[in-house]
Amino acid sequence: MGAEGGVAITAWTDRPVLVTGAGGFIGSHLVESLATRGARVTAFVRYNSRHHLGWLENLPPDLAGRVTIVAGDLRDPSAVREAARDAEYVFHLGALISIPYSYRHPQEVVETNVLGTVNILEAAREARTKRVIHTSTSEVYGTARTARINEGHPLQGQSPYSASKIAADKIAESYWRAFDVPVVTVRPFNTYGPRQSARAVIPTIITQALVCEEVKLGSLIPTRDFTFVSDTVSGFMRAAEAAEAVAREINLGSGEEVSIGDLAEKIIALVGRPVRIVCEEQRLRPPRSEVDRLHSDNSLASRLLGWKPTVSLEEGLRATIAWVEGHLSSFDVGTYKI
């Protein structure tokens, strides 16, 4: 290892790495980044009878030789243990992440997100993994009580999903305190970019703005802090590399906030079609569950990881719009997805 700007730099060439949630939006980008840097990646995806590998179906051929795909379920300790057996680094992104889905199926969400995390940490403990990078979410903070949310902000479970992630975060903390498992908890704010599903707000807006007369949304008032996926992936990599990151919880956010209504207006302007914005009742969250404001303080990531976002919201939106235009057949445009 060398050093740069106070951050220890890991040479990834031939290092064995496990990524859970590898077929998903952020996970697939992370797998590609690690493989591009020479890591030997075990990509853990959730088993399905169609043998669909998510976005890993589109893994560039020149990287395929560096990625071993393993299908299983995070709730199965033996599957997780086998996948993690030789890993020096574990990036744990696997989770059920839809808030509306968590209203309908809270038990499944808790089992996957909490017990799945226990299984990952147990496997890492047994394998003496050098570092576990555990994925949290800005949703654990609930509605902001301060202008910017730092890592000391109180945690508040405003949905079964956010409560499951709070529990998973505390389990991760306990494995550091009780068993010396070297864990870093990263808290991405709202990541967006190519490959994201219409479960998320930005693809929801883009797909409707491209082809519909109306953009149907829930509440337009809440504010969010959006980070382009390449910046989020960079933060994950740096969290694995930085010596001082162990046992810390670290926000990965742009430090800028925008309301959902203003975001929709920005996207419609970039698409260049006259489209109405409509608030649809079925998309509204229960009043006490809606998180009204998320605005990150990313100063700890800057200090510990040497990380700052590099992609502006407009630049990232243009890239995402271009990608969605080329993949519209992958979206059921206008249908509310949970």
Catalytic residues: 161
Give DSSP secondary structure letters for 33-53.
HHHHTT-EEEEEEE--TT---
Among 280, 283, 310, which residue's Cα sits nearest to residue 298?
310
Q: What is the DSSP letter of 149?
A: B
Q: What is the DSSP letter of 265?
A: H
Place of tokens 């707000």: 201
Place of tokens 């996207």: 267
Chain centroid to Cα 314, Å, comes to 20
Beta strands in the chain (DSSP E): 2-4, 7-9, 16-20, 40-46, 67-72, 89-92, 131-135, 183-188, 190-192, 214-217, 223-224, 226-228, 249-252, 258-259, 276-279
Contacts (Cβ under 8 Å, ≥6 apart) of 336:
216, 280, 282, 283
Number of C-alpha atoms within 13 angstroms, CB side, residue 170? 10
End-to-end CA distance of the chain: 43
Among 85, 106, 99, 117, which residue's Cα sits nearest to residue 20?
117
CA angle 48–191–316, rounded 5-degree value: 120
